[in-house]
Chain A
Amino acid sequence: MRPLRALSRFTALALATVALAVPAAPALAQDSIRIGLVTFLSGPAAGPFGVPARLAAEAIVESLNAGKAPSPYNAKGFGGSPIELVVIDEAGGATKQVAEFRNLISRQNVDFVVGYISSGDCLAIAPVAEELKRLTVLFDCGTPRVFEEASYKYVFRTRAHATMDAVAGARYLLEQRPDLGAYAGINQNYAWGHDSWADWTAVMSVLKPEAKVTTSQMPKFGAGQYGAEISALMQSGPEVIHSSLWGGDLEAFMLQATPRGLFKRSGLVLVAGEPNLHRLVGNVPDGTIVGARGPHGVFAPKSTLNDWLRQIYQAKAGYAPNYPAYSVAQAFLGLKAAYEKARLEKVQKAIPMGANRNVKEEMEKAYGRPTTEEVIAAFEGLTFDGPSGKVMMKLGKGHQAVQGTAYGMTRTVGGEVRLENIKYYPVEQVQPPEGVNSLDWIKGGLKPGKW
Chain B
Amino acid sequence: MSRDRTVNVLTVMLVVLLASGPFLPRWAMFLSTVSLCYGTVVLGMMLLMRTGLVSFGHGLYYCLGAYAAGTLQPFFGITEMSIMIGAAVAVTGAVSALLALLLRKYRDIFFAMLSLAFSMILYGLLVKTSALGSTDGFNVTAETLFGVRIAGTAYERYLIFAVTAFLAWICAMGMLRYLGSHRGRLAEAVRDNELRVEYMGASVANTIHVNYVVSAMLAGLGGSLMAISVGHIDPEMAYWTTSGEFVFITILAGTGNVLAPFLGAAIFETIRSFAYEYSPNTWQMALGITMLLVIMFLPGGLWSLFARTRKAG
- Residues of A at under 8 Å CB distance from B? 4-5, 7-9, 11-13, 15-16, 19-20, 22, 24, 41-42, 86-89, 93-96, 98-100, 102-103, 105-108, 119-120, 123-124, 127-128, 131-132, 143, 145, 150, 189-192, 194-195, 198, 221
Q: A123-B137, A143-B136, A191-B135 are in contact. Are A88 and B277 (CB under 8 A)?
A: yes
Contact, CB under 8 Å: A103 / B273: yes
Task: Name the CB-closest residue of B to A14.
Answer: B293
Q: A19-B267, A102-B27, A128-B231 are in contact. Are A191 and B134 (CB under 8 A)?
A: yes
Contact, CB under 8 Å: B278 / A22: yes
Distance from A195 Cβ to chain B, minimum over Cβ atoms (Å): 8
How far apart sit A128 and B296, CA to CA, in the bound complex (Å)?
Answer: 40
Contact, CB under 8 Å: B276 / A124: no
How far apart sit A124 and B274, CA to CA, in the bound complex (Å)?
Answer: 21
Closest 7 CB pairs of A and B: A8-B297, A124-B232, A191-B134, A191-B136, A190-B135, A106-B26, A120-B136
Q: A89-B280, A99-B273, A124-B231 are in contact. Are A12 and B298 (CB under 8 A)?
A: yes
Contact, CB under 8 Å: A194 / B27: no
Contact, CB under 8 Å: B281 / A41: yes
Q: A19-B267, A42-B281 are in contact. Are A198 and B130 (CB under 8 A)?
A: yes
With a cutoff of 8 Å between Cβ atoms, the chain B residues found around residue A98 in the complex are 230-232
Tell me if B's interface is mostly helix, strand, loop or mixed.
helix
- Residues of B at under 8 Å CB distance from A? 25-27, 30-31, 34, 127-128, 130, 133-139, 141, 152, 156, 226, 230-234, 236-237, 242, 267, 269-274, 276-278, 280-281, 283-284, 290, 293-294, 296-298, 302, 305, 308-309
With a cutoff of 8 Å between Cβ atoms, the chain A residues found around residue B133 in the complex are 120, 123, 145, 191
| Residue of B25, B141, B278, B280 touching A106 (CB-CB under 8 A) | B25
Q: A89-B280, A93-B234, A103-B277 are in contact. Are A145 and B297 (CB under 8 A)?
A: no
Q: A19-B274, A106-B26, A120-B135 are in contact. Are A5 and B308 (CB under 8 A)?
A: yes
How far apart sit A41 and B27, CA to CA, in the bound complex (Å)?
Answer: 23
Distance from A185 Cβ to chain B, minimum over Cβ atoms (Å): 15
Task: Name the CB-closest residue of A to B156.
Answer: A131
Distance from A200 Cβ to chain B, minimum over Cβ atoms (Å): 14
How far apart sit A191 and B234, CA to CA, in the bound complex (Å)?
Answer: 11
Distance from B242 Cβ to chain A, minimum over Cβ atoms (Å): 8
For B26, B27, B34, the residue with the greatest tally of chain A CB atoms inside 10 Å of its CB is B27
Contact, CB under 8 Å: B231 / A189: no
Contact, CB under 8 Å: A9 / B305: yes
How far apart sit A194 and B135, CA to CA, in the bound complex (Å)?
Answer: 10
Distance from A414 Cβ to chain B, minimum over Cβ atoms (Å): 36
How far apart sit A119 and B137, CA to CA, in the bound complex (Å)?
Answer: 9
Task: Name the CB-closest residue of A to B236.
Answer: A93
Distance from A297 Cβ to chain B, minimum over Cβ atoms (Å): 25
Tell me if A's interface is mostly helix, strand, loop or mixed.
helix
With a cutoff of 8 Å between Cβ atoms, the chain B residues found around residue A19 in the complex are 267, 270-271, 274
Contact, CB under 8 Å: B136 / A108: no
Q: A120-B135, A145-B133 are in contact. Are A8 and B27 (CB under 8 A)?
A: no
How far apart sit A106 and B30, CA to CA, in the bound complex (Å)?
Answer: 11
Q: A15-B293, A119-B136, A143-B136 are in contact. Are A127 and B270 (CB under 8 A)?
A: no
Contact, CB under 8 Å: B270 / A107: no
Contact, CB under 8 Å: A189 / B127: yes
Contact, CB under 8 Å: B232 / A108: no
Distance from B284 Cβ to chain A, minimum over Cβ atoms (Å): 7
Distance from B128 Cβ to chain A, minimum over Cβ atoms (Å): 7
Contact, CB under 8 Å: A8 / B270: no
| Residue of A86, A105, A120 touching B234 (CB-CB under 8 A) | A120
Q: A41-B281, A127-B231 are in contact. Are A12 and B137 (CB under 8 A)?
A: no
Contact, CB under 8 Å: B305 / A123: no
| Residue of A15, A22, A89, A94 touching B283 (CB-CB under 8 A) | A89
Q: A12-B302, A19-B271, A89-B276 are in contact. Are A123 and B139 (CB under 8 A)?
A: yes
Distance from B69 Cβ to chain A, minimum over Cβ atoms (Å): 14
Task: Name the CB-closest residue of B to A90.
Answer: B280
How far apart sit A131 and B135, CA to CA, in the bound complex (Å)?
Answer: 24
How far apart sit A143 and B276, CA to CA, in the bound complex (Å)?
Answer: 26
| Residue of B30, B141, B290 touching A15 (CB-CB under 8 A) | B290
With a cutoff of 8 Å between Cβ atoms, the chain B residues found around residue A16 in the complex are 267, 270-271, 302
5 example contacts (A-B, Cβ-Cβ < 8 A) are as follows A94-B233, A98-B231, A107-B277, A127-B141, A145-B133
Contact, CB under 8 Å: B232 / A123: yes
With a cutoff of 8 Å between Cβ atoms, the chain A residues found around residue B139 in the complex are 123-124, 127, 150
Contact, CB under 8 Å: A88 / B280: yes
